[in-house]
Structure 1
Amino acid sequence: MLAGQKLLAVIPARGGSKGVPGKNIREVAGKPLIAWSIEAAQRSRFVDRVILSSDDTDIIRVAKAFECDVPFVREQRLAQDDTPTIDVVLDALDRCPGYDWVLLLQPTSPLRTAEDIDEAADLCIQHRAPACVSVCPVQKSPYWMFELSADDQLQPLLSAPKLVRRQELPPIYCLNGAIYLARTEWFRQHRAFIAEGTVAYKMPLQRSFDLDTELDFQQLRIFLEDR
């Protein structure tokens, strides 16, 4: 429980991935990709229940093998390429009522740990925040990025300070997709994890892999072998 309130972790994993077929159950360092998120949630001090939302029988079978709760099969209308993840989470909350907090864990972020989950939850309590999302430092600062005009002239993407050394630029963060946490009623009201009041939990680049392509899987494999 989180500050005496119940927390539901939702792992969304539909079948039919086109970029990397079968990616959610593809083996990563000896176990299916989805198992990494299941185990992290199960080890969290705050998560009361871990459920899978999926339309795919193979993904459901694998999730159950790792003792993840699968209380329903996701409807096909919520398993399309353009289905918003927010709608998937709302569907899970409707089917599994009675939780004060909801945690979205995308299986494509396998290196997120139980400690990351717990520290993000602690951050919400410390700041009395309604939501928290995970971020990581950007590898290339947008202060060094440009758009091109019709005649190929450089147009700064941001109103940046005059050209300075990289070390002098302000720190910039981006979403890494690993953790989305919010109070349930606040989430229902905003239909989002990011709105006024959301705080950021900073994660290092080394745990911020977000797998979407074959190249991402290759890079993760090399990273894990080196580690």
Structure 2
Amino acid sequence: MIDGLRVLALVPARGGSKGVPRKNIRDLGGKPLIAWTIEAALASRYIDDVVLSSDDAEIIETAVAWGASAPFVRPAELATDSADSLSVVRHALRALPTTYDVLVLLQPTSPLRSTADIDGAIGTCLQAGAAACVSICEVEKSPFWMMEVQGNGRLSRLLADKPLPTRRQDAPPSYTLNGAVYVARCSDLLAGNGFLGDDTVPWIMPKERSFDIDTEFDLKYLRFYLSEGQNG
């Protein structure tokens, strides 16, 4: 709880995954991938409950073993490749018997996000009086030098409406969503709003905590990254 507001952490983890089969319960550093997110959420100063949204019995069993609660099973129609995360969020809010004021969406595919990132995003959102807060990280390559291919086969700058900086170091910092933390007021989410809008504020995270596992290569690389850190 923060400022008298009840906070729910929702961990979405469906069973089907084409990019990384069974990714949510795959081993990472000696524990299931989903355990990293659950542990970080349980250590939060502000989160009241950590709830899993899943359609898969094995994922549910694993998440509960690591401390999350699973009071419902996600409907099959919300566990497809085409199901959007906001529909999953709204289903969870309506399915739970308890009413919450703030929701924090924590995807298991961002295992290195810390408890400090979670609490920082929650605090930033409420202190700013914003509708939402999302985590971002700075991109290595500025979009000022990114191109797109036109229908005629010619190149054009993606940001053609903005002047090209003379030097790369003169380009303003640019950021991308890293998928680690999404915070919003439950009333706004139930009203049909999302996490991104004119009243969204950022929580900036470093690259080393912004890993997002989408492929087998991502998982293998992160395993290597963690093993190198443990070996000094």
The TM-score range, normalised by the shorter chain, is over 0.9
Change (3 A) 1:78 1:162: closer
Moved more, 163-172 or 21-30: 163-172
Aligned to 1:67: 67
Aligned to 2:195: 193
Change (3 A) 1:164 1:223: farther
Please, what is the CA RMSD of the aligned residues?
1.2
Distance in 2 between the 1:128 and 1:49 partners? Answer: 22
Distance in 2 between the 1:73 and 1:190 partners? Answer: 22
Distance in 2 between the 1:205 and 1:72 partners? Answer: 34
Distance in 2 between the 1:73 and 1:149 partners? Answer: 45
- The CA deviation at 1:224 is 1.3
Aligned to 1:91: 91
Distance in 2 between the 1:114 and 1:98 partners? Answer: 23
2:204 equivalent among 195, 202, 205: 202
Distance in 1 between the 2:182 and 2:53 partners? Answer: 16
- The CA deviation at 1:132 is 0.4
- The CA deviation at 1:18 is 1.2
- The CA deviation at 1:173 is 0.5
Distance in 2 between the 1:47 and 1:107 partners? Answer: 17
Distance in 2 between the 1:9 and 1:116 partners? Answer: 13
Matches within 5 A, 1:73-152: 73-96=73-96, 97-152=98-153
Whether contact under 8 Å (2:144, 2:164) holds in the other structure is: no
Which string of whole-angstrom CA distances, capped at 9 and with x for unpartnered residues, describes residues 49-79 of structure 1? 0000101011011111102101011111111
Matches within 5 A, 1:139-178: 139-158=140-159, 159-178=161-180
Gap runs ≥5 in structure 1 = none
Q: Which secondary structure does the structure 1 equivalent of 2:191 belong to?
A: helix
Aligned pairs, number: 227
- The CA deviation at 1:191 is 3.0
Change (3 A) 1:221 1:149: same
Q: Does 1:181 align with 2:183?
A: yes
Gap runs ≥5 in structure 2 = none
Distance in 1 between the 2:168 and 2:57 partners? Answer: 49
Q: Which secondary structure does the structure 2 equivalent of 1:162 belong to?
A: coil
What TM-score results when the alignment is normalised by the length of structure 2? Answer: 0.94
Distance in 2 between the 1:150 and 1:23 partners? Answer: 38
Distance in 2 between the 1:119 and 1:30 partners? Answer: 27
Distance in 2 between the 1:213 and 1:148 partners? Answer: 26
- The CA deviation at 1:197 is 0.9
- The CA deviation at 1:23 is 0.3
Which string of whole-angstrom CA distances, capped at 9 and with x for unpartnered residues, describes residues 64-119 of structure 1? 11021010111111111101110111010001141001110000000011100111
Distance in 2 between the 1:3 and 1:207 partners? Answer: 28
Moved more, 120-129 or 168-177: 120-129
Q: Which secondary structure does the structure 1 equivalent of 2:136 belong to?
A: strand
Q: Report sequence identity in percent.
A: 51
The one-letter amino acid of 1:80's match is T
- The CA deviation at 1:163 is 4.6
Aligned to 1:31: 31
